[in-house]
A and B are shown apart, each in its own frame.
Chain A
Amino acid sequence: MSCDKYQERLLNFVESGKRDPMPGDLEEHLRGCSGCRNEYNELKELFGFLDRDRERDTYDSRLDTLVVDINEQLDKQSKLVRFNPGAVYSFIGAVAAALFIMLFGMTQQKYFSEDIYYTDYYNGSSIVEYADEAGLGDELLDEMYSSIDKQSIEQIEEYWIENTDYSNIIEDLDEDYIRAIKTAIEQEYKNVS
């Protein structure tokens, strides 16, 4: 067995608080391997410290009234939903304004869309990879991220909650969205250069 395997077992052993005695073969290996012995001693030190960290900040007294706070929030939100003509007209106006701004923004900078963040949200580095392929620098990526507003992030969260098994979503996204993003970034690269 390689040292990597022994070290994985050492991690499990130390992490479990050494509840059970160390398995014989592991102990035997430690006797003859200074690298793993050092690893073991380091892990013991680290977990001793982490165990002390686990004891702090375990409770917040505000949790005693969390139920009350949550119910107040929910009541507030449900009151907002209940009919209030002034609020409804304001809401319609705000939606119309937001739509106008979104449409205008899309015509100006079509690749700064929710879809881009959306794919990155599930797919980790895909945007960075495509941006690298297209030769785009960090500044452009920063600009892209900063253009994403809170609203779109909340929408994404809603969507995520609806689709708890999001491996399927990633599969769905892979073909359509990533191709669209790649095209958009390449297009942008052409514009920039």
Chain B
Amino acid sequence: MSNADERQIIKNAVNGDRRAFNEIVNRYKQRIYFTVMKMVRNKDDAYDITQDTFIKAYKNLDRFRGDSNFYTWLCRIAINTAINFKSRDKYREMASVADINTVPESIDRPDHNFAENQLFDRLDKAVAGLPAQQKKVFALRYYDQMPHAEIAQVLNLSEGAVKANYFQAIKKLKNEFSDIIYKSESKSAGKEVEK
């Protein structure tokens, strides 16, 4: 879809054309869901946040000025919604914690062994524990693969601040997994640069 097409679709959606809006949803739902999922690390919450994001976007389409990329605008709503999102259902939170502990690996993550699943659980917790700004930058940069300049626009930060937050996030994750990283590092140390 070209930018001109997209602008026309947005214009139609603003004028109440629900089919045009549905096209916007279908175009961006996967990308928004994935980025949000990697921020909140909970499927149900990620789905709810994605839904909320599009509903908010629909209600505010007429306020999209067009001076930034549409996805940048949409992403800003999603990130803000994710940061302020409180899990709606305590029972669901409890259920999801129970899921982590009890769902057999063959159903949940068929391609990974138990040790790897434990590592992923650790990663979920480590990412959840990052400061909000670092979490946002990390999700946008690593998972959404957004350029620094665009992240700066979404989060209203300087590019330097984006890079610094990203660097800090990576450093924290590296420390979090230092036990594993160092173990395997000692096996492969120097190999790459000595070749």
- A residues apposed to B, CB below 8 Å: 8, 11, 15, 27, 30-31, 37-38, 40-46, 49-50, 52-54, 56-60, 62-63, 66-67, 69-71, 73-74, 77, 153, 157, 160-162, 164-167
Most buried by A among B29, B43, B143: B29
- CA–CA, A30 to B191, complex, Å? 11
Q: By the criterion CB–CB under 8 Å, are B170 and A46 in contact?
A: yes
Most buried by B among A11, A164, A165: A164
- In the complex, which residue of chain A has the Cβ closest to the Cβ of B53? A70
Contact indicator per residue, chain B 21-63, by CB within 8 Å of chain A (1) or not (0): 0100110011001100110000100110011001110101001
Q: Which residues on B sit within 8 Å (CB–CB) of A167? A: 156
B2 at interface by CB-CB < 8 Å? no
Query: 30 pairs across A/B with beta carbons < 8 Å?
Result: A31-B193, A40-B192, A40-B193, A41-B192, A42-B181, A45-B180, A46-B173, A46-B181, A49-B119, A49-B180, A50-B173, A52-B116, A53-B38, A57-B34, A59-B33, A59-B34, A60-B37, A60-B43, A60-B46, A60-B47, A62-B47, A63-B47, A66-B25, A66-B54, A67-B25, A157-B81, A161-B63, A162-B63, A164-B68, A167-B156
- In the complex, which residue of chain A has the Cβ closest to the Cβ of B54? A70
Main secondary structure of the interface of B (DSSP, over half): helix
Contact indicator per residue, chain B 152-195, by CB within 8 Å of chain A (1) or not (0): 00001000000100010010011001101110110011101110
Supply 20 further A-B pairs (C-beta < 8 A) apart from A27-B193, A74-B55, A164-B76. Answer: A37-B193, A41-B188, A42-B181, A43-B174, A45-B185, A50-B142, A50-B173, A57-B37, A62-B47, A66-B47, A66-B51, A70-B54, A70-B58, A73-B55, A157-B84, A160-B80, A161-B77, A164-B65, A164-B68, A165-B156
- B124 → chain A closest CB, angstroms: 9
Q: By the criterion CB–CB under 8 Å, are A42 and B185 in contact?
A: yes
- CA–CA, A8 to B156, complex, Å? 22
- A122 → chain B closest CB, angstroms: 9
Q: By the criterion CB–CB under 8 Å, are B185 and A38 in contact?
A: yes
Most buried by B among A40, A70, A73: A70
- B72 → chain A closest CB, angstroms: 9
Q: Which residues on B sit within 8 Å (CB–CB) of A52? A: 112, 116
- In the complex, which residue of chain B has the Cβ closest to the Cβ of A161? B60
- CA–CA, A11 to B166, complex, Å? 10
B18 at interface by CB-CB < 8 Å? yes
B123 at interface by CB-CB < 8 Å? yes
Q: Which residues on A sit within 8 Å (CB–CB) of B26? A: 67
A37 with B190, Cβ < 8 A, contacts A11-B170, A42-B181, A46-B174 known? yes
- CA–CA, A45 to B25, complex, Å? 36
Q: Which residues on B sit within 8 Å (CB–CB) of A153? A: 84
